[in-house]
With several copies, the nearest count.
Chain A
Amino acid sequence: MSVYADVQVSRSAKALEPEKLAKLVNMSKYPVLITGGKLLENEKLVDVAVRINEKGIDVIACSASSKPLIERGVKPKFTTFSLHYVTQFMLDPDFRVEGKSIDLAIYLGFMPYYLSRVLSALKHFSKIKTVAIEPFYHPHASFSFPKVKDEEYYEMLERFVGALEVRV
């Protein structure tokens, strides 16, 4: 009648099209964008982050990604704490960013194995929704880009940013 449960993995991320992911973000109360170290190497990702921020989404810059962002005029809510810290904060229901409680976090520009651990922590121990807009499918996220070819990735990011509503 059912699966014999020794396949050792629990919930896997829903892989969604960029527009759908954007819709989820649009529906959330206080989403944040969390950026990682790839922004130091990849100007395109900086661009995407800037444009997401322009839609009114606050940025938490990890991994020293604040530097290129600040240069592009972004004012991150945090610049100093590594993703490990930020995750520890987010796991605490008391954590607020300027009085607001994060209900959804978008991740951009992290090493896959590094982000994966963080997503796993939030999956098991918090109610925050996590959205990975990364070139890898992230099973531990709540929602993730599907498995895509390299060249399609930037196009997907475009579609994602395009579908974000401006927040006020």
Chain B
Amino acid sequence: MAIKIEDVLRNMKLENVNITIGEIVEEGKVKAEAEERKEVREESLPVGPTPKPHILDLRYWDRVLLERFEPIYMPMQDFCNLCTMGPCDLSFNKEGACGIDLKTQKARIVALACSIGASAHATHGRHLLEEMIKEFGEDHPIDLGLEVDVVAPNIMTVFGIKPKKLKDLREVANYVEQEITRVLHTIHTGQEESYLDYESKALHVSMIDHVAMELADIVQISCLNYPKGDPDAPLIESGVGALDLEKPVILVIGHNVVPARFIDDYLREKDLHDLIEIAGICCTAIDTTRYDAKAKIVGTLSYQLRIVRQGFADLIVVDEQCIRADLLRECSKLGIPLIVTSEASVRGCEDRTNDDVNDIVDDLVNGRAKGVLIRDMEKLAKVAVKTAFKSFLRRSRRNVSVNVEEEIKKCVNCGRCVENCPHSLRIDLAFARAKNGDFSLLKELEETCIACGRCEQVCHRGVRIVDVIVRIGEAKRGKVRAGRGPIKDSEIRNVGQPIVMGTIPGVIAPVGCPNYPRARRELSEIIEEFLKRRYIVVTSGCHAMDLGIEGGLYEKYGGDFDAGCLVNVGSCVANSHISGAVIKIANIFAGRNLLGNYAEIADYILNRVGAVGLAWGAMSQKAASIATGFNRLGVPVVASPHCLKYRRGYVGKFWKRDKWWVYDIKSGQKVYVEPCPDALIVCAETKEEAIVLLARLCFRPADTYLGRQIKLTHYLELGKKYLGCYPDDWHLFVRTEQDLPLKMRDELLQILEEEHGWKIDWDKKKILEGPIRKYDPGFNPTLLKDIYEKYRR
């Protein structure tokens, strides 16, 4: 008896009369007033209690979160060897020579990972800022288009200013670097004694990460003519299959658009634009195509080794982050020239910045230099283009032939590769079957392999495992909508109410790295389930690529930020527009002041905005800080099984009733509430499990009964579909019979009575006893005493 969502929606319309009461009304009113005073606000915005917060300033909010969402640690390593008093055996939560215990040590490592992640975006942002100031002047306006007035929600909420010009961002960058340094300081031996305080640091530096990302992205949007919140940003030709291999191919890899942009400009300037393919891997791919829609996206991190091994890249230019640490070795094996451009990723290459262009080109093409460092971007562009043409002429000399059969024969099926494969992929079995002509397992292997190369490191028979795998695959092709940047204020105005009411059942944000095998395939399946159900889907980074290349979803779903959309905001740094969008709901829709008002905003989001992140294969330290930054803002994240390796989750216990309470501003009471969301970061093993979990984490205490009905409908349906039954805890989300989907109401009431012992008035079909709390349309929850007091006054 599947329930059709359309029916529910239709039913709801009938009942759609008296819902604009209570908080919704209040918020509407506040909003209207706020709108009127917009001009005034611009000049004299009030500043909240915590502008430029340091570690301790928001600790009280962290304590609230950590009380509910208890950290869970899953050590990767029983020992610590961070200082020379070690190594210390901390197993079973013993203490090391400095007195630290295992849990605290794990929390310390998490805080460190988040610091590294934040430092990556901070450095990226600082680099862009200084580059753009050099080029455009420090008075260049920050401009995300006419329809984006709240240009920097993260910066406003955290730092407490609304930046107008590039120069305003310099003090933001200083602040970001200061906070990262301060958190890093705490990693030093001999500091925290409680894991809760390291978690507070992880949360803090990850919030800073969102500020850093926002800084980076608004700089590049403002200066580089990227799409500015455009729902119809162009569709980019993507996938290996999209490349025109008749042309020289310049492959750009990394996260920073600057080198690719100079090459692109140079090509246009010299009218060579149509003669060369610029193709990208990882976030540089996304940002390059925001700059020039004719550039192409090859794919995600797991394509790096694949592409190199295929030998058709005539030049590789790398910038920073997420670049394989064997790229120079791999390229030089095939004679592919490599240019490095970033201080972060020099790879031992000689600095040739001051050399003659032709000398560098010659050295690269002839293999005298395997890779070179060029720090001058104009020179880089010249060298890159010349090298690409010359190298193209030698492409045929690159020996990339693989005798698949022979390689397969070499294998003795010993399984050493499997033990070393991060996914324990059964290479041995795949090869064994292939020997007998059955290539199905090998095909399957190709689909799931992340092309990391660890298997090859241990094969004593020298089987070219990755080469075989690459040879088996087909060149994928698809379209990815170019990263549009921010969500427009008007869009927020439209969806704010349905999101907060719950009538848009949720915002699903797939963001992260696809280093979970099968992620490419599974991700699209998960997301399409939600697109069909008209959730808002907003994506970025490598996940955004996969949804296009593997899923072909951009062609099917619109780019407006509204129910059933698929919005690609951009590269990793564009994640700040996702956190920014939820912040903007609190501001534009609900009229909450942003400036220096982080805790209030996060509390608002946690209780009202049913947004959930999905990191189906997060890999990097940046992924850790991005996710943790969402967490501090009150946005839960579902992660792939690999993410357990981050060692720490924030997972609440639904069965501990006393953990789930809020202050109700309306009634003036502390009330127990349903446990929603009941985790801030939690892993799922299968896509089926992830789907149900995502739907579950969209519930919010402030849902209206209409919203709750819709959310419950999806949750129950998805439970039936994927778990084979209604989920264990659906009844916890029922406050009143009105929360129950109309068509299922009788059935559900019966279950509540029989299985959960609730008292039902069957005449009126009313629930008499059972729910955690009564439904009150004016319910106005907060977890913060100061917010409670402020609004009670």
Residues of A125-156 whose CB lies within 8 A of B = 125, 136, 150
B644 to A84, Cβ gap below 8 A? yes
A residues 82-122 touching B (CB-CB < 8 Å):
82-85, 87-89, 91-92, 94-95, 110-114, 117-118, 120-121
Chain B's interface size range is: 35 or more
Cα(A122)–Cα(B420), bound, Å: 23
Chain A residues whose CB sits within 8 angstroms of the CB of B87 once the complex forms: 5-6, 8
Instruction: Tell me whether B79 is interfacial, beta carbon within 8 Å.
Output: yes
Proximity string of chain A (1-42) to chain B, C-beta cutoff 8 Å, 1 when within and 0 when not: 111111011110000000000000000000000001100100
The answer, yes or no, to whether B134 is at the interface (CB within 8 Å) is no
* A157 at the binding interface (Cβ < 8 Å): no
Residues of A within 8 A of B (CB): 1-6, 8-11, 36-37, 40, 61-64, 66-71, 78-85, 87-89, 91-92, 94-95, 110-114, 117-118, 120-121, 123-125, 136, 150
Question: Does B679 lie within 8 Å of A85, measured CB to CB?
Answer: yes
Query: 8 tightest CB-CB pairs across the interface, nearest first?
Result: A10-B91, A64-B688, A67-B724, A63-B685, A117-B74, A114-B641, A37-B686, A117-B644
Instruction: Check if B689 sits within 8 Å of A62, measured CB to CB.
Output: yes
Whether A111 pairs with B76 at a CB distance below 8 angstroms is no
Beta-carbon contact of B723 and A113 below 8 Å:
no
User: CB distance A88 to B725 under 8 Å?
Assistant: no
A112 to B215 alpha-carbon distance, docked (Å)? 40
- Is B457 part of the binding interface, using a Cβ–Cβ cutoff of 8 Å? no
Q: B693's closest neighbor in chain A, by CB? A: A82
Contact of A80 with B684 in the complex, beta carbons under 8 Å: no
Judging by beta carbons under 8 Å apart, are A125 and B73 in contact?
yes
- Cβ contact within 8 Å between A121 and B72: yes
Whether B682 is near chain A, meaning CB under 8 Å from some CB there, is yes
Interface residues of B (CB under 8 A from A): 70, 72-79, 81, 87, 89, 91-93, 102-103, 415, 418-420, 422-424, 429, 641-642, 644-645, 647, 649, 651-653, 655-656, 679, 682-686, 688-689, 692-693, 696, 719, 722-725, 727-729
**Once bound together, how far apart are the Cα atoms of A35 and B684, in whole Å?**
13
Known: A63-B684, A112-B424, A125-B103. A1 touches B418 (CB 8 A): yes
CB pair A110–B78 under 8 Å, yes or no, is: no
* A82 with B722: CB separation less than 8 A: no
Task: Tell whether, in the assembled complex, residue B723 and residue A67 are in contact, meaning their CB atoms are under 8 Å apart.
Answer: yes
Contact of A2 with B651 at beta-carbon distance under 8 Å, contacts A82-B684, A114-B685, A125-B103 already known: no
Q: Among A5, A81, A84, A114, which residue has the most Cβ atoms of chain B within 10 A?
A: A84
Chain A: CB-nearest residue to B75: A120
Do A80 and B420 have beta carbons less than 8 Å apart?
no
Chain A to chain B contacts (Cβ below 8 Å), 14 pairs: A8-B76, A8-B77, A10-B91, A36-B685, A64-B722, A70-B725, A82-B682, A82-B685, A82-B689, A111-B424, A118-B74, A121-B73, A121-B74, A123-B91
With A5-B419, A124-B78, A125-B93 known, 18 other A-B pairs at CB within 8 A are A1-B415, A2-B419, A9-B78, A10-B92, A63-B688, A67-B724, A69-B724, A70-B724, A79-B725, A79-B728, A82-B685, A92-B653, A113-B422, A113-B642, A114-B644, A117-B644, A117-B645, A120-B76
| Complex interface: chain A residues within 8 A of B429 (CB) | 150
Whole-angstrom distance between the Cβ of A89 and the nearest chain B Cβ: 6
* B728 contact set on A, CB distance < 8 A: 78-81
Q: Chain B residue with minimal CB distance to A67?
A: B724
Query: Which B residues are in CB contact (< 8 Å) with A118?
Result: 74, 644
| Residue among B89, B649, B689 making CB contact with A88, cutoff 8 Å | B649
The docked-state distance in angstroms from the alpha carbon of A103 to that of B496 is 47
- If A79-B728, A125-B73 touch, whether A67 touches B641 (CB-CB below 8 Å) is no
- Residue in B closest to A82 when the chains form the complex, CB atoms: B684
> A135: nearest residue on chain B (CB-CB)?
B424
Which chain A residues border B74 with CB–CB below 8 Å? 87, 117-118, 120-121
When chains A and B are docked, how far (Å) is the Cα of A136 from the Cα of B688?
24
Write the nearest CB–CB distance from A152 to chain B, whole angstroms: 13
Instruction: Decide yes or no: A84 and B76 within 8 Å by CB, A67-B724, A94-B656 being known contacts.
Output: no
Question: Across the interface, do B72 and A83 meet the contact criterion of CB distance under 8 Å?
Answer: no
Inter-chain CA distance A51–B680, complex, in Å, is: 36
Task: Kindly state the separation between the CA atoms of A164 and B692 in the bound complex, as whole angstroms.
Answer: 33
| Among A79, A113, A120, A136, contact of B641 (Cβ-Cβ < 8 Å) | A113
Contact (Cβ within 8 A) A113 B424: yes
Q: Nearest-CB distance from B651 to chain A (Å)? A: 4
Q: How far is the CA of A70 from the CA of B651 in the complex (A)?
A: 26
Partner pick for B78 among A8, A69, A114, CB 8 A cutoff = A8
A85 to B76, CA, bound (A): 18
| B723 contact set on A, CB distance < 8 A | 61, 64, 66-67, 70, 79-80
Residue of B nearest to A65 (CB): B686
Q: In the complex, what distance in Å separates the CA atom of A114 from the CA atom of B647?
A: 11
A3 to chain B, nearest CB (A): 6
Q: Which residue of A lies closest to B719 (CB)?
A: A80
Select from chain B the residue with minimum beta-carbon distance to A5. Answer: B419
Beta-carbon contact of B93 and A124 below 8 Å: yes
Cβ–Cβ contact A66 & B73, under 8 A: no
Residue of A67, A69, A78, A81 touching B688 (CB-CB under 8 A): A67
Q: Which residues of B contact A94 (CB under 8 A)?
A: 656
Q: Report Cα–Cα, A59/B778, bound state, in Å.
A: 42
Q: A5-B420, A10-B89, A70-B725 are in contact. Are A113 and B656 (CB under 8 A)?
A: no
> B730 to nearest A CB, angstroms?
9
CA distance A88 to B642 in the complex (A): 17
Residues of chain B within 8 A of A10, CB atoms compared: 78-79, 89, 91-92
Q: Which A residues are in CB contact (< 8 Å) with B651?
A: 84-85, 88
With both beta carbons as reference points, the residue of chain B lying nearest to A92 in the complex is identified as: B653
Contacts of B91 in A (CB 8 A): 10-11, 123-124
